[in-house]
Amino acid sequence: MPDILTPDICVIGAGSGGLTVAAAAAAFGVDVVLVEKGLMGGDCLNYGCVPSKALLSAAKSAKAHGPDPKIGVEAGFSGANFASANDHVRSVIAAIAPHDSVERFEGLGVNVIKAAARFASPDTVMAGETEIRARRFVVATGSSPAVPPIPGLSDVDYLTNESLFELRQAPEHLIIIGGGPIGLEMAQAHIRLGSRVTVVEAQKALGKDDPELAAIVLSAVKKDGVEILEGTAVKSVSAVDGLIQVDAESSHGAVSVKGSHLLVATGRKPNLDGLGLEAAGVDVERGGIKVDKGLRTSNRKIYAIGDVIGGLQFTHAAGYHGGLAIRSILFRLPVREDRVNMPWVTYTSPELGHVGMNEAQARKQHGDKVKILTADYAANDRAQAEGATIGRLKLIAGPRGKLLGADIVGAQAGEVINLLSLAISKKMTMKDLTGFVAPYPTLGELVRRAATSYYADAPSNPWVRRLVRFLTQFG
């Protein structure tokens, strides 16, 4: 006889999305079961954000400790120690893991079951020998690397984000298929830690970002020594003399690259296998589980959140979804996912951040009422002091100066975009962005500088000049 549990909520998957729901439900004293078949913390902690940012940090440090005549540093740096960088990655994961652990969640009052979950019917999940009949289910099973059907690929030993962070020695020559955020972040990390790196991208590298600002990142990564082949589609992969050969086609003709290691970073596919979604009456579409604006699936008792629904696949998006699901399940409040105002950051040097509408979306909606306002890092005193003058902030202002979107490339772009994400969520205008005091010297002053340029025409406006003259008569 299986154990039968009848909690209020059953969450499937203990990644960023599932942990958010489980912790919040437990905090409100709700009976919640969390089922996880792999490592607690999911992709972000074990194979994604955390190891990639830790490796980038080690790589940044290696770069900073190298000679830099520009700021007068002539260090005797003899190359990075890849194994030590990998130790750093492991120690960062180990430091964060207790926060996501079974022990912590059981301490919060969550019933954690380590097993693969499968729907047996529209209101029953099996997890090993346990049968779970919950009032509501939340599917948060994440995504996995989408490996394209390239001839010969399955015959070579290729890496994905699930195996890359196990390497203890720097690859001699790392070839990366895919020039998205994973491809570019890992290209820069590895070149700075001693590898030769070639990125092969079928279309445009960092193609989801503002093209002008993405070009600044690509130029910096190329300056580090990474070879980036854009518009180059991979046709086949083979093993040749102990190396991996990638054969591709570009508009200039055939290209062939031989390397010691191959990383496939060509996007994600939702984790649906073995979930029994048909038995649950849950519909699936191309990108993942089909949900309505309130994150409910075709079975009203079942919600789906995070990477498994496709859309924007970020840790903070999964956490945001978790918060919406909790509001809907516990408080029965109407919720509506906002996909436009989700920020993201690519953690290369320089960083690349985005929030809200891009220029094309803004122009489509508001035509010539859109103004693009910019501020360059070179005109910011803090950037000058830090020797970080490569960068640019772009604000997209709509009717009545409303902030519609922002893109930024440069040092600490990820921190500056936080301020702009808050501004967008509070529906702020250029007036708001000029009406606060920014401490000097900070990169945050870029925001005020760009927003101030919205009023660039004011001094030459005859009405404003007349008003100023009139007011001077009063002493």
Ligand X SMILES: NC(=O)c1ccc[n+]([C@@H]2O[C@H](COP(=O)([O-])OP(=O)(O)OC[C@H]3O[C@@H](n4cnc5c(N)ncnc54)[C@H](O)[C@@H]3O)[C@@H](O)[C@H]2O)c1
Ligand Y SMILES: Cc1cc2nc3c(=O)[nH]c(=O)nc-3n(C[C@H](O)[C@H](O)[C@H](O)COP(=O)(O)OP(=O)(O)OC[C@H]3O[C@@H](n4cnc5c(N)ncnc54)[C@H](O)[C@@H]3O)c2cc1C
Instruction: Note whether 310 binds ligand X by CB under 6 A.
Output: no
Q: Which does 35 bind (CB under 5 to 8 A by kind): ligand X, ligand Y, none?
A: ligand Y
Instruction: Note whether 330 binds ligand X by CB under 6 A.
Output: no
Instruction: Note whether 313 binds ligand X by CB under 6 A.
Output: yes
One residue of 187, 213, 345, 406 binding ligand X per CB under 6 A: 345
Q: Shortest gap between Cβ of 339 and ligand X (angstroms)?
A: 13
What gap in Å lies between CA 210 and CA 213, rounded to an integer? 6
One residue of 265, 395, 413, 447 binding ligand X per CB under 6 A: 265
Q: Which does 410 bind (CB under 5 to 8 A by kind): ligand Y, ligand X, none?
A: none
One residue of 35, 134, 200, 291 binding ligand X per CB under 6 A: 200
| Contact stretch for ligand Y (CB under 6 A) within 46-54, 254-262, 284-292, 426-434 | 46-54
Instruction: Note whether 35 binds ligand Y by CB under 6 A.
Output: yes
Q: Shortest gap between Cβ of 275 and ligand Y (angstroms)?
A: 5
What gap in Å lies between CA 133 and CA 280, rounded to an integer? 12
C-beta closer to ligand X: residue 234 or 430: 234
| Contact stretch for ligand X (CB under 6 A) within 1-9, 175-183, 398-406, 461-469 | 175-183
One residue of 22, 43, 448, 451 binding ligand Y per CB under 6 A: 43
One residue of 183, 319, 350, 391 binding ligand X per CB under 6 A: 183
Instruction: Note whether 52 binds ligand Y by CB under 6 A.
Output: yes
One residue of 195, 266, 297, 315 binding ligand Y per CB under 6 A: 315
Instruction: Note whether 13 binds ligand Y by CB under 6 A.
Output: yes
Per-residue HEC secondary structure of the chain comes to: CCEEECCCEEEECCCHHHHHHHHHHHHCCCCEEEEECCCCCHHHHHCCHHHHHHHHHHHHHHHHHCCEHHHCECCCCCCCCHHHHHHHHHHHHHHHHHHHCHHHHHHHCCEEEECCEEEEECCEEEECCEEECCCEEEECCCEEECCCCCCCHHHCCCECCCCHHHCCCCCCEEEEECCCHHHHHHHHHHHHCCCEEEEECCCCCCCCCCHHHHHHHHHHHHHCCCEEECCCEEEEEEEECCEEEEEEEECCEEEEEEECEEEECCCEEECCCCCCHHHHCCCEECCEECCCCCCECCCCCEEECHHHHCCCCCHHHHHHHHHHHHHHHHHCCCCCCCCCCCCEEECCCCEEEEEECCHHHHHHHHHHHCEEEEEEHHHCHHHHHHCCCCCEEEEEECHHHEEEEEEEEECCHHHHHHHHHHHHHCCCEHHHHHCCCCCCCCCCHHHHHHHHHHHCCHHHCHHHHHHHHHHHCCC
Helix 211-223 to helix 181-192 angle, to the nearest 10 degrees? 20
Instruction: Note whether 178 binds ligand X by CB under 6 A.
Output: yes
| Contact stretch for ligand Y (CB under 6 A) within 247-255, 267-275, 293-301, 418-426 | 267-275
Q: Shortest gap between Cβ of 446 and ligand X (angstroms)?
A: 21
User: 448 - beta bridge partners?
Assistant: none
Instruction: Note whether 313 binds ligand Y by CB under 6 A.
Output: yes
One residue of 82, 105, 344, 377 binding ligand X per CB under 6 A: 344
Contact set for ligand Y, span 344-383 (CB under 6 A): 347
Q: Which does 337 bind (CB under 5 to 8 A by kind): ligand X, ligand Y, none?
A: none
Instruction: Note whether 297 binds ligand Y by CB under 6 A.
Output: no
- Binding track over 167-186 against ligand Y, x by CB under 6 A: ---------------x----
Q: Shortest gap between Cβ of 37 and ligand Y (angstroms)?
A: 4
Parallel, antiparallel or unpaired: strands 173-177 and 261-264 = parallel
C-beta closer to ligand Y: residue 296 or 371: 296
Site for ligand Y, rule CB under 6 A:
12-18, 35-38, 42-44, 48-49, 52-53, 116-117, 140-142, 161, 182, 271, 274-275, 306-308, 313-316, 318, 347
Site for ligand X, rule CB under 6 A:
148, 150, 177-183, 185, 200-203, 207, 233-234, 265-268, 313-314, 344-347
